[in-house]
Chain A
Amino acid sequence: KAGVTQTPRYLIKTRGQQVTLSCSPISGHRSVSWYQQTPGQGLQFLFEYFSETQRNKGNFPGRFSGRQFSNSRSEMNVSTLELGDSALYLCASSLSTGGTGELFFGEGSRLTVL
């Protein structure tokens, strides 16, 4: 069974540009969450999607957005990039939003903003 797949793994952008990151969850998983990992702020929750609906959102500016498609794949977008957006962006999938199920993480997309 394939794990959570994130693309691209590495990318470099310049300030002011925008970026789109993609996440394919484990087959059958319908919930996708996104996290940002930086040396200074650690791991922080961005948002959670289930059945194409955003169920929960972390404390990030509106430049950070996401969506989920009918096949459960998810994308997140960051517009008007700032140097501080340089981070590892992790996607996690789970079977549903209810219950006590486990989150399965992908290997992340490492974004560098110059």
Chain B
Amino acid sequence: AQSVTQLDSQVPVFEEAPVELRCNYSSSVSVYLFWYVQYPNQGLQLLLKYLSGSTLVESINGFEAEFNKSQTSFHLRKPSVHISDTAEYFCAARRSDTGRRALTFGSGTRLQVQP
């Protein structure tokens, strides 16, 4: 079984400041890793994913995450946040050795961008 830990439940940050949302995972098998974002009263949207290959993955809206196998981490970063980035962010893992798509989610980090 795998587990995902998001170390911060809330992260307040000022607009245009950099931010890092931390995620660590634990698994006895190889996993795929994901970051999802959830805006109020909405479902989850995939932000980015690590499947294989380059350990640095980027999204179209300026977020990036780096897979670090030795530290079992997949932290999410953005160099300059906007008010519109205010949302809850979930890190998730899925086994890569089966076709089953069950995701194990972290507890979420609420990003609060202040003007």
Contacts and interface: CB of A to CB of B under 8 A. Distances in A.
Contacts of B41: 107
Contacts of A97: 99-101
Interface of B: 32, 36, 41-46, 49, 51, 90, 92, 96, 99-108
A107 B43 contact: yes
Contacts of B103: 35, 43, 45, 103
Contacts of A102: 46, 49
Q: Which 4 A-B pairs have the closest CB atoms?
A: A105-B43, A43-B105, A98-B99, A105-B44
A-side binding surface: helix, strand, loop or mixed?
A: strand
A55 B43 contact: no
A45 B102 contact: yes
A77 to B, nearest CB: 20
A61 to B, nearest CB: 17
A9 to B, nearest CB: 9
A90 B43 contact: yes
23 contacts: A4-B43, A33-B101, A35-B103, A42-B108, A43-B92, A43-B108, A44-B105, A45-B102, A45-B104, A48-B101, A56-B100, A56-B101, A90-B43, A94-B101, A97-B100, A97-B101, A99-B99, A100-B32, A103-B101, A105-B44, A106-B43, A108-B42, A108-B43
